[in-house]
A and B are shown apart, each in its own frame.
Chain A
Amino acid sequence: MSTDRLGRFANWNVAIIAVTVVVLIVAAATVDNFGTAQNFGFLILDLLPIALVALPMTLVIVTGEIDLSVASTLGLSSAVMGYLWNQNQPIETIIPLCLLLGAVLGAINGFFVTVLGLPSLAVTIGTLALYRGLAFVVLGDGAVADFPALYTDWVTGNIGGTSIPNVLIIIVVLAAVFGVVLHATPVGRAVFAIGTSEQAARFAGVRPGRVKFWLYVVSGLVSGLAGVLWTLRYSSARADNGAGLELAVVAAVLLGGVSIFGGKGALPGVIAGVVLLASLQNALRLSDVSNEALNVVTGVLLIVSVLAPNLANAVRSSLQRRRHRPEPL
């Protein structure tokens, strides 16, 4: 059974990577300007926040929890960045402060979920509203611009002379770190163990509460970083930056084959899910599809990504049952 499950799981990973490659090829062949070097840069910048936040989100969902507050954490980080910049603070102190803020916001989630033992869904819906509300309290509905060109140019710029965006370095480094932690360290094995059976994990010497708490801290930290990069990319700090991004992140993670029930998932699949989602959105936007219609695509993808494996399982088990059932009399 376990090898069967492993095989099925690998199938999903291979399938999602194959679908992503097909989408990329079809889009490059049929959509004008999709395959250009300039659009490649835009694509990477578009998927930057989704990719970054999806990394810790993968680990959180593998433990069987969820963090819906990531987009609001991103927004609050961006708002605070704008506020401090208006107070004439140097950018070199603002950026660490925003990262710290993200970690603290994550720790608040972690506290409610692990120390008080509250359902993460309800907690992070609460902090989704709370953090976004605070972002508006901090910055109102205005925008702060004119961040130093040195930083904004780096975020939107390319690695010297090539057409590879600088921010790709951040994505690759963080993805490698999270991949190694999840798939090759005791921490990663603890994450899978908690998601499969929290009780069994506890008997095996894992402390589920502690692991989850730090995962929420990391999730907040990375969301704070995504807020800083978002602000620098558009050179605009706004309280509503990244609103609704949690949908795209959860959709990408689930598309990547991570089980919403916890215990199953792999980072390469998630990366493929992020690329698939972002390139579909990019290709549709190039084809003049409106942002609101793009949300329909993301929503449908989210539902399909959880529906498809379940339906496949149902069909498979009904076929098996039919095969083993004795002939009706």
Chain B
Amino acid sequence: MTAVDLPRNHLATRRSSLDLVLRARELGIVLALAALVAVTTISNPRFLSGQSIRDILLGTAILAVLAVGQAVVVITRNIDLSVGSVLGLSAFTVGTLLRDHPGLPVIGALLIGAAVGGVCGAVNGVLVRYGNVPALVVTLGTLYVVRGITYFWAGGQQINADELPGGFLDFGNATLLGIPYLVLIALLVLVITGVVLRSYRVGRELYAMGSSPQAARLAGISVGRRTIGAFGVSGALAGLAGVLFAARFGTIDAAAGTGYELNVVAAVVVGGVAVFGGSGSVWGAALGALLLTTIGSSLAVLEINQFWQQAIVGGLILLAIGADRLVAARVAATLKKRGSHVH
């Protein structure tokens, strides 16, 4: 998916060459995944057992929902560092509600979680839009504010699995045609967001804003409203991820999701969403989430020190943005060369 939607008719060849370069990223992740799985399986065949694959898929589902929301924000040339804290607040809110009202249906829990997150996201968006403050600063601030509110509220207590209604915990484990519900929800979020970003006006406007905010404004796009909307989506998905987190783990304390923002940003950047905005896709972000989760699992299977996980996340971020820079330079050079023929 490209930053600028070039006219299709006389630029078909240019498009295809651009697509090739950009698809190389997704192909690269798939190849890296295949290599990782192959090496890990050879050293320990247990890695490809049903339980291990299930764990990876469940972990990916939560990270992918967060990554999809983050991708929407990053595409508009912003960033949302508060997602880990929003996940924690949503998980604790839903956990408390379910403990006190065991009759609450699962769909209700999902909606409430998404609503809590959506409110947090909208606050971020309003501060970025009307305060004219960089998203980095706002969301770094709300990262600590939201986490602090959760700690304040929890006051050291935690919600245990035996306090949650059985129906909710079943939802975390149950499958439909062999696929866990959590994974189905993540796929649903992924497909809807992916299609909206690719084929709907709102989606293209987000890319336009990320490519050039000034040009987008001149083109009549209501940049402010779209910014708030993008943060709202990111927050709502982080809230939804909080409910999935609660359903999967059953035990929730105020620290739930601490530090997730690094994994999420890594997944998005590794997945080929450029931090300068305007390019990348949620598919890539989801692949990035799958790769990161698989790395975590294979470290455990290969009996490598778990502490390497965070260092690898950091290394991957640097590798990915470095690769982005090289690709961007290559694409710019290609466009310049071809552009001289056209004009």
From B57-65, B92-100, B166-174, B315-323, the one touching the partner chain is B315-323
Closest B residue by C-beta to A69: B314
Interface of A is mostly: helix
A264 to chain B, nearest CB (A): 14
The answer to whether A299 and B137 touch across the interface, beta carbons within 8 angstroms, is: no
User: Taking the complex as formed, is A131 at the interface, i.e. its CB lies under 8 A from any CB of chain B?
Assistant: yes
Most buried by B among A126, A134, A296: A126
From A13-21, A83-91, A115-123, A229-237, the one touching the partner chain is A115-123
Complex: how many Å from CA A178 to CA B106? 57
The answer to whether B152 and A129 touch across the interface, beta carbons within 8 angstroms, is: no
User: Taking the complex as formed, is B189 at the interface, i.e. its CB lies under 8 A from any CB of chain A?
Assistant: no
User: Taking the complex as formed, is B262 at the interface, i.e. its CB lies under 8 A from any CB of chain A?
Assistant: yes
The answer to whether B314 and A307 touch across the interface, beta carbons within 8 angstroms, is: no
A163 to chain B, nearest CB (A): 33
Select one of B132, B137, B312 contacting A302, CB under 8 A. Answer: B137
B145 to chain A, nearest CB (A): 4
The answer to whether B314 and A131 touch across the interface, beta carbons within 8 angstroms, is: yes
> Chain B residues with Cβ under 8 A from A306's Cβ?
131, 133-134, 137-138
A19 to chain B, nearest CB (A): 18
User: Taking the complex as formed, is B142 at the interface, i.e. its CB lies under 8 A from any CB of chain A?
Assistant: yes
B298 to chain A, nearest CB (A): 16
Closest B residue by C-beta to A313: B132
A interface footprint on B119-148 (CB within 8 Å = 1, 0 otherwise): 000000001000111101110111111011
B318 to chain A, nearest CB (A): 4
> Chain B residues with Cβ under 8 A from A239's Cβ?
307
Complex: how many Å from CA A140 to CA B313? 17
Complex: how many Å from CA A302 to CA B145? 10
Q: If A118-B322, A129-B266 touch, does A247 touch B309 (CB 8 Å cutoff)?
A: no
Q: If A66-B136, A310-B133 touch, does A299 touch B141 (CB 8 Å cutoff)?
A: yes
The answer to whether A127 and B318 touch across the interface, beta carbons within 8 angstroms, is: yes
User: Taking the complex as formed, is A194 at the interface, i.e. its CB lies under 8 A from any CB of chain B?
Assistant: no
Complex: how many Å from CA A133 to CA B306? 10
> Chain B residues with Cβ under 8 A from A251's Cβ?
141
> Chain A residues with Cβ under 8 A from B127's Cβ?
303, 307
Complex: how many Å from CA A244 to CA B234? 23
The answer to whether B145 and A137 touch across the interface, beta carbons within 8 angstroms, is: no
The answer to whether A290 and B151 touch across the interface, beta carbons within 8 angstroms, is: yes
Complex: how many Å from CA A303 to CA B138? 6
The answer to whether A292 and B325 touch across the interface, beta carbons within 8 angstroms, is: no
Q: If A133-B309, A133-B311 touch, does A307 touch B317 (CB 8 Å cutoff)?
A: no
Q: Please, how many residues of chain B have a CB less than 8 angstroms from a CB on the other chain?
A: 42
User: Taking the complex as formed, is A254 at the interface, i.e. its CB lies under 8 A from any CB of chain B?
Assistant: yes
Select one of A122, A126, A133, A250 contacting B140, CB under 8 A. Answer: A250
Q: If A122-B317, A295-B147, A298-B144 touch, does A130 touch B322 (CB 8 Å cutoff)?
A: no
Complex: how many Å from CA A142 to CA B46? 31
Closest B residue by C-beta to A303: B141
Select one of A117, A137, A310 contacting B325, CB under 8 A. Answer: A117
User: Taking the complex as formed, is A293 at the interface, i.e. its CB lies under 8 A from any CB of chain B?
Assistant: yes
Most buried by B among A119, A130, A311: A130
The answer to whether B133 and A126 touch across the interface, beta carbons within 8 angstroms, is: no
Closest B residue by C-beta to A296: B148
Complex: how many Å from CA A128 to CA B143? 16
A interface footprint on B181-216 (CB within 8 Å = 1, 0 otherwise): 000000000000000000000000000000000000
User: Taking the complex as formed, is A260 at the interface, i.e. its CB lies under 8 A from any CB of chain B?
Assistant: yes
The answer to whether B136 and A133 touch across the interface, beta carbons within 8 angstroms, is: no
Q: If A122-B269, A133-B312, A137-B311 touch, does A128 touch B262 (CB 8 Å cutoff)?
A: yes
User: Taking the complex as formed, is A314 at the interface, i.e. its CB lies under 8 A from any CB of chain B?
Assistant: yes
Question: Which residues of A277-320 are within 8 A (CB) of B?
Answer: 290, 292-296, 298-300, 302-303, 306-307, 310-311, 314
A243 to chain B, nearest CB (A): 9
The answer to whether A250 and B131 touch across the interface, beta carbons within 8 angstroms, is: no
The answer to whether B254 and A292 touch across the interface, beta carbons within 8 angstroms, is: yes
The answer to whether B137 and A303 touch across the interface, beta carbons within 8 angstroms, is: yes
Closest B residue by C-beta to A129: B314
Complex: how many Å from CA A294 to CA B313? 29
Closest B residue by C-beta to A292: B151
The answer to whether A136 and B310 touch across the interface, beta carbons within 8 angstroms, is: yes
Closest B residue by C-beta to A290: B151
The answer to whether A296 and B269 touch across the interface, beta carbons within 8 angstroms, is: no
The answer to whether A295 and B148 touch across the interface, beta carbons within 8 angstroms, is: yes
The answer to whether A126 and B131 touch across the interface, beta carbons within 8 angstroms, is: no
The answer to whether B145 and A130 touch across the interface, beta carbons within 8 angstroms, is: no
The answer to whether A299 and B144 touch across the interface, beta carbons within 8 angstroms, is: yes
Complex: how many Å from CA A131 to CA B315? 9
User: Taking the complex as formed, is A214 at the interface, i.e. its CB lies under 8 A from any CB of chain B?
Assistant: no
18 A–B pairs (Cβ distance < 8 Å), ordered by A: A112-B318, A118-B325, A119-B275, A122-B317, A129-B266, A132-B310, A133-B309, A133-B312, A136-B311, A137-B307, A137-B308, A239-B307, A260-B133, A293-B148, A295-B148, A296-B152, A306-B133, A306-B137
Interface residues of B (CB under 8 A from A): 79, 127, 131-134, 136-138, 140-145, 147-149, 151-152, 254, 262, 265-266, 269, 275-276, 305, 307-315, 317-318, 321-322, 325
Nearest 6 Cβ contacts at the A-B interface: A130-B314, A133-B311, A133-B310, A129-B314, A126-B317, A292-B151
